[in-house]
Structure 1
């Protein structure tokens, strides 16, 4: 796992900022980065001068006043650690491209964003940035407790799962959290498009065989990473509803997990970078457990180079 040396906290000038600033204290203490940036992007307001003249309290440009308000909250809520460089930035422009350019140019390794559960917000910008940014992304809600006692890792035995597990192991070393993996599997649709035509006994037999196969795959991966399987148990769940994200979330809730770590398999289609379906659904509203999407930077950086030049 590469070090999270530069953490970006994305602010939107709402009450969500308070939760993000408080959680950033925990993340900074845990990951020990060299730099933490707090960024708010505001669209160019374009208020006519005649209107501004009637607002004497706006004795400075609006971005300056917004930054002063964010600075005030920053001083109240953020505990500044020795050896860490902090900065509060307010930029004018379109939110998504401004954040993406910042993460690319400033070599951001982890982007911390809010996933609103109670507060108003549809999460469209969060989904776009989570898809396109080259950095890993952590999503927390306004109710997230700043602690890591139990971490769940999505496991499907590919390169992205390996990266996710390595990251989770490092987080556990920092926090003392317990780890568990979760493999959600289903029958290959190509061969079992109509499972109702397979007898119940045969269906159960095939499910058992797939679980046994995946268990061997897990043991192989654990051995490859030189980890102890007894310290990182793996749950195997048959996905009856073809909704891996919901199965991952359900088990995490049942097991009182504080974080779901998922290695995202990036797909490039029609010159766009998109998250895999499970990652995208975990980013969406309605799931109040924090999610860490761990990325391989290279393919996304290549896309951004073509996009922004």
Structure 2
């Protein structure tokens, strides 16, 4: 996997900014990014008249005021006058043009906060991940910058190669333990109606093992895969529950799976993994 050189971090001037900056600092200690761009979207099209009236008295534009605030926060974690840190304040509240800017910059990774307890609901983060083409890391508010145990979700689609490469990069640089997982979709709800269902389910399991053997050989993976059998739970819930049992610090998932329609901006499994009730960091591979 090529080195991730340029990353972006979305901040919103709340308490969660400190958690995100701490998380990115830990990543930078390992990966030594070439540059970090701190982003902020002014989510309203026009500032209230009360704010506009005091801006001239400050002697600065609203963008300069916000940039100074972000700069002060960044200084705590990365030192003063760090030449590798840039800023982009996006006005107008237009998420689409904000996403277009990020794609144009071709960031190797965009990091977003996912809120549940802090003020805000994380709706903006959800919109952004649906629009951008960059790999996107969702960091919930209840997390630590630790990367010891990483779950890599595999469906043997075109995304699986990318997911494995990122996992191996973490293993090589951070010495992370990898936990490959695959969900066997056997249609268990049809069990009473399918003759020889157990034989059919065993054939699916054998095929999954064969596919993983090919991936192991291709990527020189030593880790064994965990095969989860589908149930009445959504696939994302099976994966999430497994990650919790393994004390995972990160889940890496492809943006779409084999069954997702081609025109979807984000696949159903990825969509559920970043839902507000999930409290593990998730890296969505685009």
Same fold (TM over 0.5): yes
Match of 1:90 in 2: 89
| 1:16-55 pair list within 5 angstroms | 16-42=16-42, 43-48=44-49, 52-53=52-53
Match of 1:303 in 2: none
Q: For residues 264 and 46 of structure 1, do their structure 2 counterparts lie closer, same or farther at Cα, with a shift above 3 Å needed?
A: closer
Match of 2:214 in 1: 220
Match of 2:115 in 1: 116
Match of 2:181 in 1: 182
Q: For residues 81 and 30 of structure 1, do their structure 2 counterparts lie closer, same or farther at Cα, with a shift above 3 Å needed?
A: farther
Q: CA deviation at 1:149?
A: 0.5
| 1:279-304 Cα shifts (integer Å, max 9, x gaps) | 11111111111111111xxxxxxxxx
| 1:164-179 pair list within 5 angstroms | 164-179=163-178
Residue-pair matches, total: 282
Cα distance between partner residues in 2 of 1:203 and 1:47: 63
SS of 2:36's partner is: strand
In the TM superposition, structure 1's runs of 4+ consecutive aligned residues that sit over 4 Å from their partners are 50-59, 79-82
Matched, 1:194 2:193: no
Which runs of 5 or more residues in structure 1 are unaligned?
296-309
Match of 2:152 in 1: 153
The answer (yes or no) to whether the contact 1:52–1:58 under 8 Å persists in 2 is no
Instruction: Please say which of residues 121-130 and 107-116 is displaced more in the overlay.
Output: 121-130
The answer (yes or no) to whether the contact 2:55–2:61 under 8 Å persists in 1 is no
Q: CA deviation at 1:45?
A: 3.5
Matched, 1:127 2:118: no
| 1:214-250 Cα shifts (integer Å, max 9, x gaps) | 111100111122x14xx31210011112511111100
SS of 2:145's partner is: coil
Which runs of 5 or more residues in structure 2 are unaligned?
none
Q: For residues 58 and 196 of structure 1, do their structure 2 counterparts lie closer, same or farther at Cα, with a shift above 3 Å needed?
A: farther
Match of 1:72 in 2: 72
TM-score by length of 2: 0.89
Match of 1:285 in 2: 276
Q: CA deviation at 1:33?
A: 1.9
Cα distance between partner residues in 1 of 2:54 and 2:79: 38
The answer (yes or no) to whether the contact 2:189–2:231 under 8 Å persists in 1 is no
Q: CA deviation at 1:198?
A: 3.8
Cα distance between partner residues in 2 of 1:46 and 1:121: 19
Cα distance between partner residues in 2 of 1:32 and 1:76: 18
Match of 1:232 in 2: 223
The answer (yes or no) to whether the contact 1:25–1:79 under 8 Å persists in 2 is no
SS of 1:194's partner is: helix
